[in-house]
Amino acid sequence: MNIQELIKDRRTIRKFNTQPLSQETILELMNIAVWAPNHKLREPWRFICATEMESKARLADHMVGSLSELKRYKLMPSKIKQMYKDKIQLIPAVLFKYRKGYDFLIHSLYFSE
């Protein structure tokens, strides 16, 4: 099965193994991701791939922290919040795309001291 078939037939996965992904696989995923629908087909995507534990920890803090305004998040026990952070950090490579114009956010997330 090739990568395109995998993406088209994808299902939600809740468990990940810890086997690292090769740089070749990550680049292939990014090349396919540019075909995702976007506003007016201008392809304004930027990509971040976090493979190092420190980067994934920062990303997890930001992702879980961004939920803090949701009412159900405020009611969520801290043990559950930590579980979400831990799951993000266990994924071998976290690849996400973001829209052009949010570079300031990514810069502050990855390059802050």
Q: Tell me what pLDDT residue 47 has.
A: 79
Task: Specify the pTM.
Answer: 0.61
Give the pLDDT of residue 113.
43
* pLDDT at site 103: 64
Q: What is the 3-state secondary structure (H, E, C) of 14-69?
A: CCCCCCCCCHHHHHHHHHHHCCCCCHHHCCCEEEEEECCHHHHHHHHHHHHHCCCC
Low-confidence ranges of the chain (pLDDT < 70): 1, 13-14, 38-44, 99-113
Q: What is the pLDDT of residue 41?
A: 61
